Amino acid sequence: MLGLAAVSGLALEPHHLTAPGHYRYASTVFVTEPWPEAYVQNDERRASFERATRSYAPTVDAYIEAGYSTCVIPKVSVQARVAFILDQVARMMRLQSATTGQSRRGAKFGQMRTFSMNSRLRLGISFVVVAAALAAAGVWLSRELSIDRCLDQGGAWDHEQTRCVFAAR
């Protein structure tokens, strides 16, 4: 929203500026740089490539100003992009897990505090929630990449039938 407002010259209300701090999803945002070879303008993507390119920097700047870090997805095949994103998410989770583990250390270096049953239950529930979120994210990412692949090939995505449709030539 903030990036779109910057590009479009829209006036922002104070609540627009504070919203990113209140409704945070994750600390890292995946972004794709303008890529003319993969860009197709159609019913789904109405903006010209030039317009999409102009919105890139303000959008990324808005994320950074809101306190997010960005991770640029490389310009490679769809399969390689999926692998890259999944690898980055796994890496972020390992780092988060390592950071969480550090905060649970006892007075002696390297000695872990024993967890109470309540802590183990919370940890188990957290693991199940994270695993479910990752599974849902995988399903969502797979669908979004199918749409992206469809659009990259010049098709239009039919949301009702969840399939790619190509115009008769």
Give pLDDT tens digits for 32-63. Answer: 999 999 888 888 888 889 988 888 888 888 88
pLDDT for 103 equals: 46
Cite the beta strand spans of the chain per DSSP E: 28-31, 69-72, 156-158, 163-165
User: What is the pTM assigned to this prediction?
Assistant: 0.51
| Structural domain harbouring 88 | 2-98+117-165
C-alpha span between 83 and 90 (Å, rounded):
10
Q: Which residue has the higher pLDDT, 6 or 144?
A: 144
Instruction: Give per-residue pLDDT as tens, 73-96.
Output: 999 998 999 999 999 988 888 887
Would you say residue 107 lies in a domain?
A: no
Sign of the C-alpha dihedral computed for residues 61, 62, 65 and 66 taken in this order: negative
Would you say residue 126 lies in a domain?
A: yes
Would you say residue 53 lies in a domain?
A: yes
Would you say residue 104 lies in a domain?
A: no
pLDDT of 68 strictly over 80: yes
Would you say residue 75 lies in a domain?
A: yes
Would you say residue 105 lies in a domain?
A: no
- For residues 126-155, average pLDDT: 83
C-beta separation of 19 from 13 below 8 A:
no
Average pLDDT, the chain: 77
Q: Which residue has the higher pLDDT, 25 or 93?
A: 93
Would you say residue 148 lies in a domain?
A: yes
pLDDT for 12 equals: 65
Number of domains in the chain: 1
pLDDT for 42 equals: 87
pLDDT for 104 equals: 44
